[in-house]
Amino acid sequence: MSETTRESAPPRAVPLAELAARHGLTVSGARPSLPEYVRQLWGRRHFIVAFSRAKLMAQYGQAKLGQLWQVFTPLLNAFVYFLIFGLVLGGRAGMGNREYIPFLVTGVFVFTFTQASVLAGVKSISGNLGLVRALHFPRASLPIAFSLQQLQQLLYSMIILLVIVVGAGHYPGWTWFLILPALALQLIFNAGLAMAMARLGSNTPDLAQLMPFVLRTWMYASGVMFPLREMLEDRANAPSWVATVLEANPAAVYMDLVRYALIDSDTHNAIPATTWLWALGWAAVIGFGGFLFFWKAEEKYGRG
Amino acid sequence: MADNTPALAADDGRRPTVIAEDLHIVYRVYGAGNRGNATAALRRMVRREPSRRVREVHAVRGVSFVAYRGEAIGLIGTNGSGKSTLLRAIAGLLPAERGRVFTDGQPSLLGVNAALMNDLTGERNVILGGLAMGMTRDQIRARYADIVDFSGINDKGDFISLPMRTYSSGMQARLRFSIAAAKDHDVLMIDEALATGDKKFQRRSEARVRELREEAGTVFLVSHNNRSIRNTCDRVLWLEKGELVMDGPTDQVLKAYEEETGK
């Protein structure tokens, strides 16, 4: 190997690392400390928001109806599920249309929020290697931006949802404001999960192929189109602890909270306080844990 | 590469800005073509087998050098010799397999291509590109008019409010350069193909690069154009197959390089 450093007649030759230390040079691409990382991330908040909005706009940039698809897509989605689970398969367990339609649409939209965040999160590093290899920014910006993109998508869906809910005869009440904390907690949970998946997906790109299956299983296990407990205990004769466990899963928890907030009927008029605790706990554990897990590999993103 | 003695350099009072110490960069390439279906992927992950299709490309092999403040350093070598990879590693954008790079401040690569989106208007891309480079909203607002004027996008009508995909390739390249060149840098790295656009824009961009050079502490330039290396650089690193072949004054290295490549 040709060791070619410039000086061959040394006044005082020193190892490179020592030279670096003497002049206060730091290792390029080293992982910043956690507080420093949070500070950098906060400094890039405008980029994160701009990036998420740009992604959202670019999504339907070529369509003739343009941004109207932001609203049509979730509407069509809900319609297809209603056709299959509401009319053909009969998953409504005795709920009338007045209750079932808002129940189903809320479930679909709220679950889609988490589902889409995870799917985008898995690819957020591996699908944006060009960006990661060209510019400096805390890499957590990417999974967070994708979660925010999904939040904005959800807000469009919410317009449809509120129209449907009111159309089904559930009028606005004070409980409607509970959507805000519920969705805020879900956003934190989603962002944490997206960050964790982003790290896993950057090492194992195959996860992007596998995730749709995992997510579909999760969807059926969370009672998106049918009431979970009735379905499990009455139809499948499962022991009641199975339902209890599944009801504590984050997707079911956040769906229950939004349903409770919006739907005005006997089965949705009370919610156990433990559901709020679960929502808080999931957001705190997955939100913070996912962030920590992602930060641990900050300097390694970009290879592959 | 079994060379374990650390490279030495004299501490002669000059201020080093970039120090590379026995730097190795390896790319891992996952199988091209059919990757198998989801069940196969599941099986692989459950059994913790590495994918058989992973290939390693050792792009930079044990490069060491010290760059000082005020230097303009050219990187030359044939295609695929590891020049761009080395730049990205210095910028801290590619993790090192072995070895380290020490830098003074944050080196930045001139370029924002990856952050821009073709479906967005030129206007939004200016803002997005600026934010991606770490500029604040105020800085972008202050320079917005300069960026648009410099790119010359609006010379032939109001094109900045159209999506970037409607631009000609020359216009796209001009806008990208204008956004990238809007920021000042400590250690600046420029990867060839700067000379985009028509003659008029080339002259303007060369002038802008000279300005950036004067503001930056150290400049790295990757180019296949020996004339532009000769014009701008006082020191040249010659890479071949990821190894440093020669490091020295521009004339000396370029002469050897030209003899070798038979030009």
pLDDT in tens, B13-25: 778 888 888 899 8
Cβ–Cβ gap A14/B8 under 8 Å:
yes
* A218 occurs within a structural domain: yes
pLDDT in tens, B118-157: 888 888 889 998 898 888 899 999 999 988 988 888 887 8
- CB contacts of B115 in chain A (<8 Å) are 51, 131, 134-135
Assign 3-state DSSP to chain B and report helix, strand, coil percentages, each to 5. Answer: 40, 25, 35
* A14 occurs within a structural domain: no
- CB contacts of B128 in chain A (<8 Å) are 47, 50-51, 54
Q: Is residue A128 pLDDT above 60, yes or no? A: yes
* A19 occurs within a structural domain: no
* Contacting A residues, span 149-208, partner chain B, CB-CB under 8 Å: 204-207
Mean pLDDT value across chain B: 81
Q: Which residue of B has its CA nearest to A204?
A: B45
- CB contacts of A9 in chain B (<8 Å) are 10
**What average pLDDT does range A278-289 have in this prediction?**
95
Distance from CA of A110 to the nearest CA of B (A): 26
pLDDT in tens, B235-249: 999 999 989 999 999
Q: Which residue out of A25, A59, A67, A211 would a mutagenesis test of the B interface target, given it has the greatest number of B Cβ atoms within 10 Å? A: A25
CA distance B20 to B7: 10
pLDDT in tens, B86-120: 988 888 888 888 888 888 877 877 766 777 888 88
Look at A266 and B115; give whichever has higher pLDDT: B115
Minimal Cβ distance to B119: which of A6, A20, A58: A58
Beta bridge partners of B74: B221, B236
Cβ–Cβ gap A16/B37 under 8 Å:
no
Other CB atoms within 10 A of residue A220 CB = 12
Q: Which residue of B has its CA nearest to A300?
A: B95
Cβ–Cβ gap A26/B102 under 8 Å:
yes
Question: In chain A, how many domains are there?
Answer: 1
Q: Which residue of A has its CA nearest to B111?
A: A134
* Contacting A residues, span 45-64, partner chain B, CB-CB under 8 Å: 46-47, 50-51, 54-55, 57-58, 61-62
Question: Do A219 and A212 touch, CB atoms closer than 8 A?
Answer: no
Q: How many CB pairs under 8 A join A and B?
A: 214
Predicted ipTM?
0.77
Q: Is residue A200 pLDDT above 50, yes or no? A: yes
- Give the model's pLDDT for residue B1: 39
* A271 occurs within a structural domain: yes
- Give the model's pLDDT for residue A193: 96
Distance from CA of B258 to the nearest CA of A (A): 19
Of the candidate ranges A35-49, A53-67, B42-56, B161-175, the one whose mean pLDDT is the lowest: B42-56
- Give the model's pLDDT for residue B95: 81
- CB contacts of B179 in chain A (<8 Å) are none
Look at A59 and A124; give whichever has higher pLDDT: A124
Distance from CA of B192 to the nearest CA of A (A): 14
* A13 occurs within a structural domain: no
Look at A189 and B170; give whichever has higher pLDDT: A189
Question: What is the 8-class DSSP label of residue B196?
Answer: -
Beta bridge partners of B238: B76, B246
Look at A117 and B68; give whichever has higher pLDDT: A117
Cβ–Cβ gap B131/A1 under 8 Å:
no
* A20 occurs within a structural domain: no
Distance from CA of A8 to the nearest CA of B (A): 8
Q: Is residue B177 classed exposed, middle or buried when 0-12, 13-18 and 19+ CB atoms within 10 A define those classes?
A: buried
Q: Which residue of A has its CA nearest to B54?
A: A304
Phi, psi of B82 (to 5 degrees): 100, 10
Look at A57 and A255; give whichever has higher pLDDT: A255
**What average pLDDT does range A74-78 have in this prediction?**
83
Cβ–Cβ gap B103/A46 under 8 Å:
no
Cβ–Cβ gap A133/B35 under 8 Å:
no
User: What stretch of H or E contains B109?
Assistant: strand B107-109
Q: Is residue A41 pLDDT above 90, yes or no? A: yes
Residues 6+ apart with CB under 8 A from A249: A218, A221, A222
Look at B9 and A51; give whichever has higher pLDDT: A51
* A237 touching chain B per CB within 8 A: no
pLDDT in tens, A242-261: 888 888 899 999 999 999 88
Q: Domain range holding A115? A: 29-298
Q: Which residue out of B5, B11, B120, B243 would a mutagenesis test of the A interface target, given it has the greatest number of A Cβ atoms within 10 Å? A: B11
- Give the model's pLDDT for residue B80: 84
Q: Is residue A282 pLDDT above 60, yes or no? A: yes
Q: Is A225 in a helix, a strand, or coil? A: coil
Minimal Cβ distance to B112: which of A58, A135, A304: A135
Q: Is residue B4 pLDDT above 50, yes or no? A: no
* A9 occurs within a structural domain: no
Beta bridge partners of B237: B75, B247
Look at A42 and B206; give whichever has higher pLDDT: A42
pLDDT in tens, A139-178: 999 999 999 999 999 998 888 888 888 888 888 888 888 8
Cβ–Cβ gap B136/A206 under 8 Å:
no
Phi, psi of A26 (to 5 degrees): -115, 160
Distance from CA of A122 to the nearest CA of B (A): 15
Question: What confidence tier does A110 reach under pLDDT thresholds 50, 70, 90?
Answer: very high
Residues 6+ apart with CB under 8 A from B183: B108, B130, B133, B134, B135
Minimal Cβ distance to A302: which of B20, B94, B134: B94
Look at A115 and B9; give whichever has higher pLDDT: A115
- Give the model's pLDDT for residue B117: 84
* A88 touching chain B per CB within 8 A: no
* Nearest Cα to Cα of residue A128 among B60, B117, B172: B117
Q: Is residue A89 pLDDT above 90, yes or no? A: no
**Percent of chain A topping pLDDT 70:** 94
* A15 occurs within a structural domain: no
**What average pLDDT does range B53-70 have in this prediction?**
85
Question: Do A110 and A260 touch, CB atoms closer than 8 A?
Answer: no
- Give the model's pLDDT for residue B36: 59
Range ranked top by mean pLDDT from A192-206, B35-49, B179-193: A192-206
* A133 touching chain B per CB within 8 A: yes
- Give the model's pLDDT for residue B179: 86
- CB contacts of A299 in chain B (<8 Å) are 92, 95
Q: Which residue of B has its CA nearest to A59?
A: B119
Q: Is residue B195 pLDDT above 60, yes or no? A: no
Q: Is residue A4 pLDDT above 60, yes or no? A: no
